[in-house]
Amino acid sequence: MMRRTRAAAAASAASVLLLLAGTPAHALAPTGGTVTAPDPYFPLSGNNGYDVRHYDLDLDFTPATHLLDARATVRAIADRSLSTFRLDYSGPEIQQVLVDGRPATYRRNGQKLTVVPVRPIRAGAAFTVLVRYRGTPERISDPALGDYGWINTPDGAVALNEPDGARTWYPLNDDLRDKATYTFRITTPTGVTALANGEPDGPPQDRDGRTTVTWQMRKPMAGYLSMVAIGDFKVTRTTDGGIPNITAYDPTGGDDALLHPTTAEAVAWERQRFGAYPFDSMGGIIDQVGVGYALETQSRPVYDGGTDELTVVHEMAHQWYGDSVTPGTWRDIWLNEGFATYTEWLWQEDHGGPTVQQVFDTYYAAPADDPFWHLKTGDPGRDNMFDYDAVYLRGAMTLQALRTTIGDHDFFQLLREWARTHRYGTADTRDLLDLAEKISHRRLGPLFDAWLYTAAKPPLPH
């Protein structure tokens, strides 16, 4: 599903020229479809010419050898006539590519897979791409962003894709604006547990010493939020507040009694503040991953080695802010991390901790020449996209500055309306400014500029 944002529309005229490089001219001919600008931080990710509706990932994985034998089916709609198209993919060796059931020519070039179907796909047509591949996927180890993508663990594997790691284990259109629904069909030796986003579809099927489980994510999902976790897990299932809650932990890390009830409590509390929970189930997975961070994978975050109450509150807040409402580009990562960090502060205030204003004041005390202020929260740069000071803390402080400016009534209305208006889609900072101005009847451009687009300590709002 591709939504064309206002920002993308403005940028697309210029970007069409950029996109011409490396793509046969005939594939670009009359547009009229969803041509969008590349991500400023990940310009190689994302592809034009089609809109993915569904991914069907059939994964056979053996922990002892870390061998993945996979078939990925991508169902998409062509938004113009396509004699060739590209996917993001840097996974194991490909055996075959079929388009609508017919063998297609393909070539790999870096992180791109170019497919040439036997006959061009008609504009507006639905088509399916089946990619068969086999081998051991490898993680990305980035000097600035750390380890992500497909991570092999001693007893299995876990996929943590933020920001552009999904291509390490399946071919996709890795554009935040092209969300799709997912089916995961995971086969392992019997006795191994396999989890993914969403809900199980029927009981596990045993055959010849192997077990297949199917998970469905029925709400649109960006590729970076897709997840599988395979290994030895203890699984807990309940229904809390009407929502299925499925959590799992790797028992080699010890019992983790906190995850399951805390997930239910965080979601109950967040539903009251932010409005309806966006997905059909909730949960969480604790695995021994070794990457050093937790990730808000859709409906069911992954925690590395263990968790605590505030981390669960943070990752479940992302279900509204990040997963359901997703930034259109990574430049707006503060919309994810600022909102999730702000939620931690609200939770603490409501559970006997310091007030949000006290937390704000503590960080605001950093002197003007402190490196705390030296990046732009609203455009920290690719290598600083997870900078804790600039993106997480100053992102949350921006929301507190906004709250003190427009007042509690309008601020909490804004949080709810933001989640409701942009549910399952993408939105950018400009959209937040527009909505905040509409609700508060104030001009907020200068406040956003000072807090987001200036690499300096902003004045206190009044």
Question: Minimum distance from CB of 303 to Zn ion (Å)?
Answer: 12
Nearer to ligand ARG (CB atom), residue 103 or residue 388 = 388
Tell me the closest approach of the beta carbon of residue 2 to ligand ARG, in angstroms: 23
Interface of this chain with ligand ARG, residues 264 to 303, rule: CB under 6 A:
293-296
Residues 336-355 that bind ligand ARG (CB under 6 A): 337, 340
Within 8 A by CB and 6+ apart from 288, the residues are 153, 154, 250, 252, 253, 304, 305
Identity of the residue, 171 or 327, whose beta carbon is nearer to ligand ARG in the bound complex = 327
Least CB distance to ligand ARG at residue 335 (A): 12
Least distance (Å) between residue 318 CB and Zn ion: 6
Which residues sit at the interface with Zn ion, rule CB under 5 A? 337, 340
Considering the complex, state which of residue 298 and residue 440 has its C-beta at the smaller distance from ligand ARG: 298
List the interface residues with ligand ARG, window 120-159 (CB under 6 A).
Answer: 145-146, 148
- Sequence-distant (6+) residues with CB within 8 A of 219 are 181, 278, 279, 280, 298, 324, 424
Question: Is the Cβ of residue 50 or residue 392 nearer to ligand ARG in the bound state?
Answer: 392
Residue 79 site contact among ligand ARG, Zn ion, none (CB < 5 to 8 Å, cut-off depends on kind): none
- Residues within window 356-415 making contact with ligand ARG, judged by CB under 6 A: 386
Q: Residue 449, Cβ neighbours under 10 Å: how many?
A: 13
What are the residues facing 172 on neighbouring strands? 88
158 binds, among Zn ion, ligand ARG, none (CB under 5 to 8 A by kind): none
Which of 142, 173, 181, 222 lies closest to 383, judged by CA? 142
Q: Which residues contact 439 (CB under 8 A, 6 or more apart)?
A: 406, 410, 413, 414, 417
Q: Which is nearer to Zn ion, 231 or 338 (CB)?
A: 338
Question: Which positions from 8 through 47 interact with ligand ARG, judged by CB under 6 A?
Answer: none
Report, in Å, the least distance between residue 462 CB and ligand ARG: 31
Which two tokens mark 426?
């993408």
Our measurement of the distance from residue 147's CA atom to the centroid of its chain's CA atoms, rounded to an integer in Å, reads 16
Question: Shortest Cβ distance from residue 295 to ligand ARG (Å)?
Answer: 5
Partner that binds at residue 146, options Zn ion, ligand ARG, none, CB closer than 5 to 8 Å by kind:
ligand ARG
- Could you say which of ligand ARG, Zn ion, none residue 293 binds, taking C-beta under 5 to 8 angstroms by partner kind? ligand ARG
Beta carbon of residue 291, minimum distance to ligand ARG (angstroms, whole number) = 7
- The gap between the terminal CA atoms of the chain, to the nearest Å, is 41
The whole-angstrom separation of Cα 141 and Cα 149 is: 9
Compare residues 148 and 182 and give the one whose CB is closer to ligand ARG.
148
Query: Considering only CA atoms, which of 453, 433, 457 is closest in space to residue 443?
Result: 433
Residue pair 94/68 in contact (Cβ under 8 Å)? The answer is no
Q: Which does 412 bind (CB under 5 to 8 A by kind): Zn ion, ligand ARG, none?
A: none
Which is closer to ligand ARG, CB of 363 or CB of 386?
Answer: 386
Cβ proximity to ligand ARG: between 167 and 185 the closer is 167
- Residue 141 near residue 150 (C-beta atoms within 8 A): no
Choose the one of ligand ARG, Zn ion, none that binds residue 320, judging by a C-beta under 5 to 8 angstroms depending on kind.
none
Closest distance to ligand ARG from the beta carbon of 362 (Å): 21
Say whether residue 162 binds ligand ARG (CB under 6 A): yes
Distances (CA, A) of 191 to 152, 210, 258, 458: 18, 8, 25, 56
Q: In angstroms, what is the minimal distance from the CB of 132 to ligand ARG?
A: 28
Contacted by 363, from ligand ARG, Zn ion, none: CB < 5 to 8 Å by type: none
Our CB check for ligand ARG shows the closer of 79 and 162 to be: 162
Residues touching ligand ARG: how many (CB under 6 A)? 11
| Binding letters toward ligand ARG, positions 298-337, x by CB under 6 A | ---------------------------------------x
**Smaller CB separation from ligand ARG, 388 or 453:** 388
Contact 254, 393 (CB under 8 A): no
Is 160 within 8 Å of 302 (Cβ atoms)? yes
Least distance CB 300 / ligand ARG (angstroms): 14
Distance CA 461, CA 222 (A): 35
Note the residues at the interface with ligand ARG (CB under 6 A): 145-146, 148, 162, 293-296, 337, 340, 386
